[in-house]
Amino acid sequence: MHEADIQSLIHGLLEGDCAGSVAHAEALRGAGVRAEKIVLDGVEAAMNRLDAKCTLEQFNLLEIMLVGRAVMEVMKVLYPPGSAPAGTKGTVVIAALEGDVHDLGKNILKMVLTAKGYRVVDCGKDCSLGTLADAAVKETPLAVGVSGLITTIIPLVKQVRDTLRRRGLGEVKVLAGGAALKQAIPAHLNVDYVAESAFDGVGYLDGLSGGLP
Ligand code: B12
Asked if pLDDT for residue 13 goes beyond 90, the answer is: yes
d(CA 82, ligand 1 centre) in Å: 27
To test ligand 1's pocket by mutation, which of 9, 47, 54 has the most ligand atoms within 8 angstroms of CB? 54
d(CA 151, ligand 1 centre) in Å: 10
More confident residue, 81 or 74: 74
Kindly state the percentage of the chain with pLDDT values over 90: 80
Q: What are 34-60's pLDDT values in tens digits?
A: 999 999 999 999 998 887 777 767 777
Q: Give 150's DSSP letter.
A: S
Is residue 195 in some structural domain? yes
Cite the DSSP H helix spans in the chain.
Answer: 3-14, 18-30, 35-37, 44-48, 61-78, 104-115, 129-139, 154-166, 186-189, 198-208
Structural domain count, the chain: 2
Asked if pLDDT for residue 1 goes beyond 70, the answer is: no
User: Which pLDDT belongs to residue 213?
Assistant: 45
Q: What are 163-190's pLDDT values in tens digits?
A: 999 999 999 999 999 999 999 999 999 9
Name the β-bridge partners of 155.
none
Ligand 1 site, CB within 6 A: 39, 43-44, 47-48, 50-51, 54-56, 59, 61, 64, 68, 99-106, 108-109, 145-147, 149-151, 175-180, 182, 195, 197-198, 201
Kindly report the CATH number assigned to the domain that includes residue 156.
Answer: 3.40.50.280
Are 202 and 100 part of one and the same domain? yes
**Alpha carbons within 13 A on the beta-carbon side of 17:** 13
Asked if pLDDT for residue 210 goes beyond 70, the answer is: no
Are 102 and 190 part of one and the same domain? yes
Is residue 83 in some structural domain? no
**pTM over the 0.75 mark:** yes
Asked if pLDDT for residue 212 goes beyond 60, the answer is: no
To test ligand 1's pocket by mutation, which of 13, 102, 122 has the most ligand atoms within 8 angstroms of CB? 102
Q: Contact at 8 Å (CB) between 153 and 97?
A: yes
Region of poorest pLDDT, from 20-29, 50-59, 89-98, 148-157? 50-59
Q: For the chain, report the end-to-end CA distance as a whole number of angstroms.
A: 32
